[in-house]
């Protein structure tokens, strides 16, 4: 039985430069497991490794958590990075299995083609969901966010990571053994407030996008 779903594929950028491939594979497996646990309500087929340490894939019921999933994976892969493709189309092989490694169909083929096209650019995301306005808006915002984040230094990332958890500059400064002024400077230079606002608006738009009636096989 064929059915339309949102297929997301991720491709590790410059994977051939990774020296300890076994350690990175475990990192990939852990990242996929975390995504599967954190976004279980939005996932039809769990994210898993598809090609060694080069590609991962998963099948979504909706696009509500698309940006959050990408953000989670990128954070866990740093300093490595991935490019992503999201396609809404038919899966016509092993749909009932809910195992992404067994599935196939136009959605997977189109997503693979998008990943190939992205390799020639600095962009990390593109989607094709039969909604041109939504595609352009979401694709543009996600790429803009990650182009801005690419300029963050390792020190800035550490400070921002702690600030995201704690939410208080003085407490972050104490935890990292630095001054409050250093925390404030990192937040300002990274444009944390502005980027967080864009992320919030993007997640709101994705949350409001109308569902397309997909459901897990056997779930009424």
Write the pLDDT tens digit of every residue in 141-156.
999 999 999 999 999 9
Sign of CA dihedral 16, 66, 29, 103: negative
Same domain, 99 and 73: yes
* Close Cβ partners of 110 (under 8 Å, ≥ 6 residues apart): 85, 87, 89, 128
Same domain membership, residue 134 and residue 69: yes
Boundaries of domain holding 17: 3-141
Q: Categorize the per-residue pLDDT at 51 as very low, low, confident or very high, splitting at 50, 70 and 90.
A: confident
pLDDT grade, residue 23 (50/70/90)? confident
Residue corresponding to tokens 């950028």: 13
90: left (phi over 0), alpha (psi -120 to 50) or beta: beta
Asked if 28 and 137 sit in the same domain, the reply is yes
Is residue 143 within 8 Å of 124, Cβ to Cβ? yes
**For range 54-75, the mean pLDDT:** 95
Model confidence over 31-48: pLDDT tens digits?
Answer: 999 999 999 999 999 999
d(C-alpha 53, C-alpha 32), whole Å? 12
Are 68 and 19 in the same domain? yes
Q: How confident is the model at residue 217 (pLDDT cuts 50, 70, 90)?
A: low
Indicate whether 132 and 158 sit together in one domain.
no
Q: 199, 53 in Cβ contact below 8 A? A: no
Tell whether the model's pLDDT for residue 161 goes beyond 50: yes
24 and 77 assigned to the same domain: yes
Is 201 among the domain residues?
Answer: no
Provide the token pair at 202. 């993007």
Q: Which residues are bridge partners to 9 per DSSP?
A: 57, 85
Q: Give the C-alpha separation, 143 to 118, whole Å.
A: 11
Helix (H, G, I), strand (E, B) or coil at 182: helix
The whole-model pTM stands at: 0.90
Distance CA 159, CA 161 (A): 5
Measured between alpha carbons, how far apart are the two ends of the chain, in Å? 17
pLDDT tens by residue, 85-131 = 999 999 999 999 999 999 999 999 999 999 999 998 999 999 999 99
Q: Given this model, what pLDDT does residue 219 score?
A: 47
């Amino acid at each position: 039985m064929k059915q339309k779903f949102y297929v997301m594929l991720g491709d590790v950028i410059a994977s051939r430069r990774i020296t300890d491939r076994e350690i990175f594979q475990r990192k990939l497996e852990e990242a996929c497991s975390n995504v599967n646990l954190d976004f279980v309500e939005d996932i039809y087929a769990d994210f898993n490794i598809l090609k060694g340490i080069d590609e991962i894939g998963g099948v979504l019921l909706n696009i509500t958590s698309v940006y959050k999933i990408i953000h989670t994976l990128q954070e866990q892969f740093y300093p490595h990075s991935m490019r992503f493709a999201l396609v809404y189309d038919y899966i016509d092989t092993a749909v009932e299995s809910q195992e992404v490694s067994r599935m196939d169909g136009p959605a997977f083929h189109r997503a693979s083609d998008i990943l190939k096209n992205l390799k020639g650019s600095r962009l990390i995301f593109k989607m094709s969901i039969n909604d041109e306005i939504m595609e352009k808006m979401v694709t543009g915002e996600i790429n803009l966010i990650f182009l801005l984040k690419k300029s963050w230094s390792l020190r800035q990332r550490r400070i921002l990571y702690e600030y995201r958890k704690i939410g208080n500059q003085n407490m972050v400064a104490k935890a990292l053994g630095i001054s409050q002024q250093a925390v404030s400077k990192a937040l300002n230079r990274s444009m944390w407030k502005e980027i967080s606002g864009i992320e919030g608006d993007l997640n709101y738009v994705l949350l409001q996008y109308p569902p397309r009636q997909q459901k897990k096989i056997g779930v009424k």
